[in-house]
Amino acid sequence: MMQFQADILEIRVVRPKVTETTAGAAMLAGLAVNYWNTLDELKKKWMADREFTPVIDERERGGVIWHGRRQLKGSLACKGYWEAILPEGYGIHRLGQVI
């Protein structure tokens, strides 16, 4: 998934060594209660595990995006179904406008 994001967004994506999603909140909580004194001290604790860089060319990227949009349009063709099961205000109408 990280490589896919790098390829589609055309950016470098860095996966942290600690991938636990609550780790960031815990670190900030530690900062709030003075477990760590500064944000710089926290930054020193963060370590990269792996870096993902874009590897697909523009043509392939365009094809992946085109197919994704096509699949999403197919899903939106069932708009009545989605409106029936999704909570009000979910934004299915706006999503269709993006495509």
User: Same domain, yes or no, for 62 and 33?
Assistant: no
pLDDT one-digit tens code per residue, 60-95 = 999 998 988 888 877 777 767 767 777 666 655 555
Q: Count structural domains, the chain.
A: 2
User: Same domain, yes or no, for 95 and 69?
Assistant: yes
- Can you give the pTM of this predicted structure? 0.60
Closest CA to 82 of 67, 99, 73: 73
User: Same domain, yes or no, for 51 and 77?
Assistant: no
User: Same domain, yes or no, for 63 and 48?
Assistant: no
* Domain, as residue range, for 63: 56-99
User: Same domain, yes or no, for 62 and 99?
Assistant: yes
pLDDT one-digit tens code per residue, 23-49 = 778 888 888 999 989 889 888 888 899
pLDDT score, position 10:
94
User: Same domain, yes or no, for 39 and 66?
Assistant: no
